[in-house]
């Protein structure tokens, strides 16, 4: 687990250090750099086979992470989005305009990417690690969600959605998203899908991602897709 304190004022670094977590790596940034920059920093330290991003505000339930990554573990998916609109257990009833904005942004993104996602702005996105660590992310703030979707839908990655719970906050409880973030998201959808989608760096990412996926999805002789040599695979191997 990688914990990143993005210039917070709530003594996050000191509190995490006091827990003495043996499997956690703590990164402390002196100044707030925004979500995209913080995620980019964390991706430099990732070593696991699957990567998922968790916001510290706990609007998303960490106990559901195992369900989100399950399609990847079972080799059914390469990328999984947790959708707040496919409710798993509970979803707090909050701002209708936020709901409407999310639906509009997702609709516009789907029109330009030709996929049928229900929630592109979700925090919960899980990846086979090479797909996310090699992304040439350049957006700022909350634009990362749109940029990631624009990039991943250009590849041959198997993209799934699963239902999640959502324990949203009010502005009085610390909610930070503003109307201008929605306007920026609209611009990012157009920019990353129509303006820079064919630039050299992004085409290079697509080629490398597809090559990696092709190698992953081509099983060795006698080995089934899960990587386990089972009886069925043995029979197929002996029949050759």
The CA-based dihedral angle spanning residues 111, 116, 119, 124, taken in that order and rounded to the nearest 10 degrees: -120
Model-level pTM? 0.85
Q: What are phi and psi of 130, to 5 degrees?
A: -60, -25
What is residue 222's predicted lDDT score, i.e. its pLDDT?
A: 53
What is residue 12's predicted lDDT score, i.e. its pLDDT?
A: 86
* Residue 16 resides in a domain: no
* 165, 85 Cβ separation under 8 angstroms: no
CA distance 21 to 1: 9
Q: What is the largest CA-CA distance in the chain?
A: 67
Q: In the Cβ-directed half-sphere of 202, how many Cα atoms lie within 13 Å?
A: 19
* Residue 138 resides in a domain: yes
What is residue 221's predicted lDDT score, i.e. its pLDDT?
A: 52
What is residue 29's predicted lDDT score, i.e. its pLDDT?
A: 87
* Residue 25 resides in a domain: no
Task: Return per-residue pLDDT of the chain as tens, 240 residues.
Answer: 999 988 888 888 998 999 988 888 999 988 888 888 889 999 999 999 999 999 888 889 999 999 999 999 999 999 999 999 987 777 777 778 888 989 999 999 999 999 999 999 999 999 999 999 999 999 987 789 999 999 999 999 999 999 999 988 887 877 777 888 889 899 999 999 999 988 899 999 999 999 999 998 886 555 555 444 444 444 443 434
What is residue 56's predicted lDDT score, i.e. its pLDDT?
A: 84
* Residue 30 resides in a domain: no
CA distance 12 to 7: 9
* Residue 133 resides in a domain: yes
Nearest 5°: the CA angle 58, 61, 62 is 95
What is the Cα 87 distance to its own chain's centre?
A: 18
What is residue 121's predicted lDDT score, i.e. its pLDDT?
A: 93
What is residue 123's predicted lDDT score, i.e. its pLDDT?
A: 92
CA quadruple 112, 114, 117, 122: dihedral sign: negative
* Residue 225 resides in a domain: no
* Residue 6 resides in a domain: no
CA distance 78 to 138: 22
Overall number of domains in the chain: 1
Q: Provide CB contacts within 8 A for 193, sequence distance 6+.
A: 109, 112, 113, 150
Helix (H) or strand (E) holding 4: strand 2-6
- Which of the 8 DSSP states describes residue 239? T
* Residue 122 resides in a domain: yes
Q: Provide the domain limits for residue 189.
A: 49-218
């Amino acid at each position: 687990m990688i914990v990143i304190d993005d210039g917070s004022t709530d003594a996050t670094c000191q509190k995490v250090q006091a827990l003495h977590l043996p499997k956690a790596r703590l990164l402390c940034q002196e100044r707030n750099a925004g979500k995209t920059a913080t995620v980019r920093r964390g991706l430099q330290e990732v070593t696991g086979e699957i990567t998922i991003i968790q916001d510290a505000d706990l609007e998303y339930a960490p106990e559901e992470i195992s369900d989100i990554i399950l399609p990847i573990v079972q080799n059914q998916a390469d990328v999984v989005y947790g959708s707040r609109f496919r409710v798993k257990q509970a979803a707090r009833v909050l701002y209708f305009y936020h709901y409407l904005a999310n639906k509009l942004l997702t609709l516009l993104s789907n029109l330009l990417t030709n996929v049928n996602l229900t929630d592109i702005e979700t925090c919960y996105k899980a990846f086979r690690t090479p797909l996310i660590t090699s992304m040439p992310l350049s957006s700022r703030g909350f634009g990362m969600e749109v940029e990631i979707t624009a990039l991943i839908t250009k590849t041959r990655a198997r993209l799934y959605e699963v239902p999640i719970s959502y324990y949203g906050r009010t502005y009085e409880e610390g909610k930070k998203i503003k109307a201008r973030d929605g306007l920026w998201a609209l611009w990012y959808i157009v920019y990353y899908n129509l303006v820079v989608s064919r630039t050299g760096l992004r085409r290079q990412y697509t080629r490398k991602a597809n090559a990696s996926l092709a190698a992953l999805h081509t099983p060795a002789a006698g080995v089934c897709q899960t990587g386990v040599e089972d009886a069925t695979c043995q029979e197929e191997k002996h029949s050759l």
